């Protein structure tokens, strides 16, 4: 471990944390963290949710004042300075939630709050020139007068980086930058990161996607329970060892095995079309886990929303256990035994300001109400059973759903549909934003569902996950199902990608 902490250029680091400690009432969020990032280095910071990564970043950025320890930027102590001063010292943090004004143009956003001005007049030509320069350096081809609202997420992210460069940032912290990007966009972002590394910036990269970490990082720092366990050269850690460090216990198989013989078709979709999806037909059998792969925007989410009735289809039918489901009505779909766990848990799955119990109960209330009156003790008891069974970590029934970790939020939604006794469960990106330990729990849950004879559909952008978890994979491109992989165990990620991008289908 000690050996891992030494790196060639660590003698003169750009960013240096020493003994940083931060506690909140009742919680030690960061317990004495030491970290250094050299110029021209990418340090990946990994750890499960709640390990203290976010707190540590906030301490670096000046958003939180540490109880003890120091933060140095290029040898200068910036501990406890206000965020604006830390930024001036050369630190830029790109958070997951981008902080832009959608209605303003690219140029306006780039210079927002620090417009170069002469006697209060904006130097428009100068701004345009500098904006074009910096965007060109990042290989970002947008007109600087476009409103930011019209840009896709990837470009908006580049905009944040450009803003940091304009402010002469020397340390760039990227908090899960790839979470919502397509593979191609991710590659482009990585190219930018490589370029910044070459220019001598110090980068901190936070991600749950370990293949990205392996691809990008020079060194990997692992956090667990508020402690930085150490930083290792990326080459010295294999995936398995990394996961074990993060979860703090030896790992069982990443994708737990399942031995279920699929039965009769439960979900039959025939010629379903609408909202950019063209005439999709497929079936899922009881006990089968079907994977839906493809690039972001390929229509996977849209297709399953049509199946669930969240959007109204233009044509086609959906049958559950042989009976046609009324189209365009989530109520009818739920009554027929369909369940949809949306990709956007916070926006479409949960009522964040209500309690975990109420969120669980939503959609199940008829099970413990008579004439509209709720049997609250029964509800509490049923909920407690699911909490225990799924291992949902709660600080009490009344804890707000918005305060749960991603994994627990997902389990909460699974619990809702388990209680509903749904026969067909559709999970859209079930492990996105969920840490390694909880991912494993979700995989076990998927297996449990299959064993219980449910038909499961998993949409995932993580190819290793689709290949590892599914009995069969459908690949979508531009709203159409372009191919199927019937033997995922024998297939490679390249096989899936081939179906997802090229015209020729040679998968099955």
Binding footprint of other proteins on the chain (CB under 8 A): 24-25, 308, 310, 330-331, 334-335, 340, 342, 347-354, 358, 361-363, 365-366, 369, 372-374, 376, 398, 416
Q: How far is the CB of 408 from other proteins (least distance, A)?
A: 16
**Between 198 and 370, CB nearer to other proteins:** 370
Nearer residue to other proteins within complex by CB, 247 or 427: 427
DSSP labels for 273-302? EETTEEEEEEEEETT-EEEEEE-TTSSHHH
Q: How many CB atoms lie within 10 A of CB 47?
A: 26
Counting other chains too, the contacts that 65-70 makes at CB distance below 8 Å and 24 or more residues apart are 66/20, 66/21, 66/22, 66/30, 67/21, 67/22, 67/23, 68/19, 68/20, 68/21, 68/32, 69/17, 69/18, 69/19, 69/20, 69/21, 69/32, 69/33, 70/16, 70/17, 70/18, 70/19, 70/20
Residue nearer to other proteins on the CB measure, 195 or 398 = 398
Among the listed residues 260, 299, 265, 295, the one whose alpha carbon sits nearest the alpha carbon of residue 279:
299
Q: Could you tell me which residues come within 8 angstroms of residue 303 by beta carbon, excluding any fewer than 6 positions away?
A: 272, 277, 280, 292, 476, 479
Give the residue with the Cβ less far from other proteins, 207 or 342: 342
Least spacing, CB of residue 369 vs other proteins, in Å: 5
Nearest to 313 by CA among 297, 299, 329: 329
User: Does residue 160 contact residue 94 with C-beta atoms inside 8 Å?
Assistant: yes
CB of 434 vs other proteins, minimal distance in Å = 18
**Which helix (H) or strand (E) is 205 found in, with range?**
strand 202-206
Coil, strand or helix at 85: helix
Q: How far is the CB of 331 from other proteins (least distance, A)?
A: 5
Least CB distance from residue 254 to other proteins, whole Å?
Answer: 30
| Nearer to other proteins (CB atom), residue 398 or residue 487 | 398
Using the minimum distance from each CB to other proteins, give the nearer residue, 10 or 399. Answer: 399
Smallest distance from other proteins to CB 348, Å: 5
142 Cβ neighbours under 8 A, 6+ residues apart? 106, 135, 151, 155
Give min distance, CB of 274 to other proteins, in A. Answer: 17
Cα–Cα dist 227/29, whole Å: 9
Nearer to other proteins, 29 or 221 (CB): 29
Residue in 35, 155, 171 with CA at minimum distance from that of residue 105: 155
Q: Report the residue number, 5 or 96, with the smaller CB distance to other proteins.
A: 96
Q: Residue count of the chain, please give it.
A: 508
User: Cβ closer to other proteins: 192 or 401?
Assistant: 401
Minimum distance from residue 147 beta carbon to other proteins (Å): 22
Shortest distance, position 396 Cβ to other proteins, whole Å: 9
């Amino acid at each position: 471990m000690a050996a891992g902490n030494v790196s060639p250029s660590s003698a003169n680091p750009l960013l240096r944390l020493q003994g940083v400690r931060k506690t909140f009432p009742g919680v030690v969020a960061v317990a004495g963290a030491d970290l250094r990032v050299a110029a021209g280095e990418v340090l990946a910071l990994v750890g499960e949710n709640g390990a203290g990564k976010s707190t540590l970043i906030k301490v670096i950025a000046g958003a939180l004042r540490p109880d003890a320890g120091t933060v140095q930027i290029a040898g200068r102590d910036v501990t406890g300075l206000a965020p604006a001063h830390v930024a001036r010292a050369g630190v830029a943090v790109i958070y997951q939630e981008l902080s832009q004004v959608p209605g303003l143009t690219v140029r306006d956003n780039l210079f927002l709050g620090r417009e170069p001005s002469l006697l209060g007049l904006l130097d428009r030509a100068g701004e345009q020139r500098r904006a074009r320069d910096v965007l060109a350096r990042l290989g970002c081809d947008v007109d600087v007068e476009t409103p930011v609202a019209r840009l896709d997420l990837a470009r908006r992210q580049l905009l944040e980086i450009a803003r940091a460069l304009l402010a002469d940032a020397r340390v760039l912290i990227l908090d899960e930058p790839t979470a919502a990007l397509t593979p191609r966009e991710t590659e482009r972002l990585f190219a930018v990161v490589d370029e910044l590394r070459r220019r001598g910036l110090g980068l901190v990269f936070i991600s749950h996607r370990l293949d990205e970490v392996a691809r990008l990082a020079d060194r990997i720092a692992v956090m667990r329970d508020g402690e930085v366990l150490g930083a290792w050269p990326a080459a010295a850690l294999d995936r398995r060892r990394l996961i074990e460090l993060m979860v703090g216990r030896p790992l069982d198989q990443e994708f737990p095995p399942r031995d279920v013989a699929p039965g009769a078709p439960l979900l039959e979709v025939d010629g379903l079309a609408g909202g950019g999806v063209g005439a999709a037909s497929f079936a899922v059998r009881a006990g089968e886990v079907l994977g839906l792969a493809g690039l972001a925007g390929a229509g996977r989410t849209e297709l399953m929303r049509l199946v669930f009735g969240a959007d109204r289809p233009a044509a086609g039918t959906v049958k559950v256990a042989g009976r046609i489901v009324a189209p365009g009505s989530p109520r009818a779909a739920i009554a027929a035994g369909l369940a949809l766990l949306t990709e956007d848990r916070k926006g479409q799955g949960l009522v964040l300001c209500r309690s975990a119990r109420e969120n669980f109960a939503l959609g199940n209330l008829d099970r413990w109400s008579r004439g509209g009156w709720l049997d609250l003790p029964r509800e509490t008891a049923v909920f407690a059973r699911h909490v225990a069974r799924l291992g949902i970590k709660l600080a009490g029934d009344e804890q707000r759903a918005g305060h749960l970790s991603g994994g627990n939020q997902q389990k909460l939604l699974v619990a809702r549909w388990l209680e509903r006794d749904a026969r067909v469960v559709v999970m859209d990106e079930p492990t996105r934003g969920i840490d390694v330990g909880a991912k494993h729990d979700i995989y076990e849950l998927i297996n449990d569902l299959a064993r219980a004879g449910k038909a499961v559909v998993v949409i995932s952008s993580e190819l290793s996950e689709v290949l590892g978890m599914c009995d069969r994979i459908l690949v979508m491109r531009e709203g159409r199902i372009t191919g199927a992989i019937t033997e995922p165990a024998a297939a490679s990620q390249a096989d899936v990608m081939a179906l997802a991008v090229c015209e020729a289908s040679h998968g099955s």
